A and B are shown apart, each in its own frame.
Chain A
Amino acid sequence: MKLGNNRQLTSFLLMLALLLSFTTPASAVLTIQITKGVDGAQPIAVVPFATDKLTKPLPYDLVSIINNDLARSGRFSPMPAKDIKTIGSPHDGGTVRFGDWRLVNMDYLLVGRVRQTGAINYEVQFQLFDVFKGEQLTGISYPFVARDTRRMAHRISDIVYEKLTGQRGAFDTSIAYVTALAGLNNKRQFHLNIADSDGFNEQTILDSSKPLMSPSWSPDGQQLAYVSFEAGRPQIFVQQVFSANGQRQRVTDFPGLNGAPVWSPDGKYLAMTLSKSGNPEIYLYQLATKQLTQLTKHPAIDTEPSWSPDGKQLVFTSDRGGKAQLYRVRLSRNKPASRPKRLTFEGDYNARAVFSPDGKLLAMVHGNRGRFQIAVLDLSNNALQVLTDSRLDESPSFAPNGSMIIYATNRNNRGVLAAVSVDGRVHQRIEVQQGDVREPAWSPLSQ
């Protein structure tokens, strides 16, 4: 009997060995393993578009906006304009000599031309090439009007970005923020501003001598909710951003706190903080019916709610454990469906959480040994990564494609905005005109 078993085992092993030898890559052809590479931005040459035939020149240069966008993302390294001139000036595929661009190690090439189609109407046609493959990756033409020139450039940047990284671009977006300016008699003036994602086109949509706080975009990108102290106490307002007369409406005026308004992903609710019950609690306010649902009930401070993108979870700041930390409740049909569960255990202060657009990360203000920095919590494995290196960072807001986090910080005794990539590798400074800038809120992607 034993003899028989041995024989069976041996033959099985032989079979297995035989099979395995068939699944390994053909040993006949040599395989070289590459395990190391270079980390860095991809070189791209954006050749100035042909605009010589225009009867009315564009108000802005498309290519410099595109270069700025691509460089700002940290993923690309655009070739300097003066160097491009020495290589060539193709405006379409027919005149591109790939060998020339290969010599200067450009991975990609963007060329285009703009033509006039009306008094203020234009059409841009552009092509994106893979230099080393010698292939066109995309070729599109778009109509636009003069005053949308900057937006057109941002849309081109978005297309290039998405083609080359596989991720949607967030260049054609806006940022809302609050600026505090020192005025006459040491009285400060507060502005609620909107600007393009590159800081251009700053427009003030609200002016006040009293503080403004917590701007929050509606999911359709048309409204902002915010807190205003214009009546001498905090009240929540909702305002149309792009309407001509800045239509606004006061939403809450309860005794005590009215703060931290945040739109639900379906645009029907505002989560907010109210202390009318005696201490700050989280409430859901239904915009259509003005109905309130209380989500927390605890004598501690509960504030700064943030919705998950699927609308099923709400994370908020609470010091019910002694110090400010992040807690989460699950929602079912916009009613609390679980008890608050603590999420953060590192550092001695965690507050002002925001969900990433894919719902996998939480960005927050993380306090540790006297320094307040931006950190990101991976919800799948509870790993916390501190992204910034300064001391007084606050108000993180995700870009709508999840690639970067914009936040407020302090530099040279001034409040400024900065941005950091989600993996912490790319850091950006955002130039600001004057005053103290704080509380940035990145708009949703353009519909």
Chain B
Amino acid sequence: MSSLIRNNVTAIIFSLAVHALLIFLLVSSFDWAPKPQLKVNKQNIVKAVAVDANKVKAELDKLKRADENKRKKDKDRVAKLKREEQKLKKKRAAEEKRLANLKKKRIAEEKQRKTEQANLAKLKKQQADLKKKQAADEKKRKAAEKKRQLEKAKQAKLKKEQDAIKKKQALAKKKREAEKKQRQKELAQQLAAEEQARADKLAQSEIDKYQVLIRQKIERNWLKPPGELKSLISIVEVRLIPGGDVIDVSIVRTSGNLVYDRSAERAVRKASPLPLPQDPAIAAKLFNFKFEFKAE
């Protein structure tokens, strides 16, 4: 038993507590409130005394009248209260109405303000649109003006050209007459010039041909050094005398590889005399030129 208690101490305590609470509640729930008792006014304890019936009735009537008066008073009071209440109610209603009106007024004012604002905005927009329109109109006007100006200029130009043409025509006419005279003179000259051109062309083709011959002779005589030669370029300048003998060979641009440069120089010397055109005038064009040695 004691062990049981020891093992369940908490439970026991708890149950005791709950019981206590329940008991407390139960007790407290009893209605201790005093029942409505008749107000027993100790001073008014009626002593039972034999009394005259009329006196009693008069007394009763007095009481009744008093009672009625009271009741009437009360009624009046109540009515008065009621009247006051009504008055108040009315006042309140009036007040509420006033407030409502005020509210309505305010709403109306607000609405009006908003409409005024809208109107203002509308007005502003209208003004802006107007401004835009004015600007656009201005632009249009300006463009139109410009166009007009261009047209004007064009017209002026055209007129100028026409005038120039007219002038030219007049000049041409004059010239033609002068040319007629000149042409005879020039015909003779022209024939001479054509002759010259033909000679030049021949000379050029001669030069071209001998370039090839010279190149071939150099190639036959160029003993290339062994090894990788790509990207090596030597430029050799030569001077010849009539007959084709090379009198001067110089390296004007070295390849960076001395052996390569010398092989180029040697090739030119070995190829001397270089082939030259027969005509001394044409040959003279080849007295000074360069070789670019660029092994492939």
Contact = CB atoms under 8 A, between A and B. Distances in A.
- The reply to whether A and B meet directly (CB within 8 Å) is yes
Interface of A: 25, 29-40, 42, 75, 102, 105, 107, 130, 132-133, 164-166, 421, 423, 425
Contact of B218 (A34, A40, A130): A34
A39 B224 contact: yes
Contacts of A132: 266, 269-270
A33 B295 CA distance: 10
Nearest to B220: A38
Interface size class of B (residues with CB under 8 A): 35 or more
Contact of A32 (B215, B257, B263): B215
Interface string B226-243: 110000000101000000
A425 B218 CA distance: 24
A34 B215 contact: yes
B286 A30 contact: yes
Interface of B: 211, 214-215, 218-227, 235, 237, 257-259, 262-267, 269-270, 285-286, 288-296
Nearest to B216: A36
A325 to B, nearest CB: 28
Nearest to A107: B266
Contact of B223 (A29, A107, A166): A107
Contacts of A423: 226-227
Given A25-B235, A39-B224, A32 B269 contact: no
Given A25-B235, A30-B289, A133-B266, A35 B294 contact: yes
Contact of A165 (B223, B225, B264, B288): B225
A107 B222 CA distance: 11
Contacts of A25: 235, 290
Contact of A31 (B219, B224, B285, B291): B291
**Shortest 8 CB-CB distances between A and B: which pairs?**
A37-B222, A132-B269, A37-B224, A30-B289, A31-B290, A36-B219, A166-B259, A35-B296
A40 B265 contact: no
A274 B257 CA distance: 46
Nearest to B294: A35
Contacts of A133: 265-266, 269
Contacts of A425: 226
A57 B18 CA distance: 149
A6 to B, nearest CB: 23
A75 B286 CA distance: 35
Contacts of A29: 237, 288-290
Contact of A130 (B219, B237, B259, B266): B266
A133 B227 CA distance: 24
A133 to B, nearest CB: 6
Given A25-B290, A37-B219, A107-B266, 4 more contacts: A33-B291, A34-B222, A37-B267, A130-B262
A151 to B, nearest CB: 27
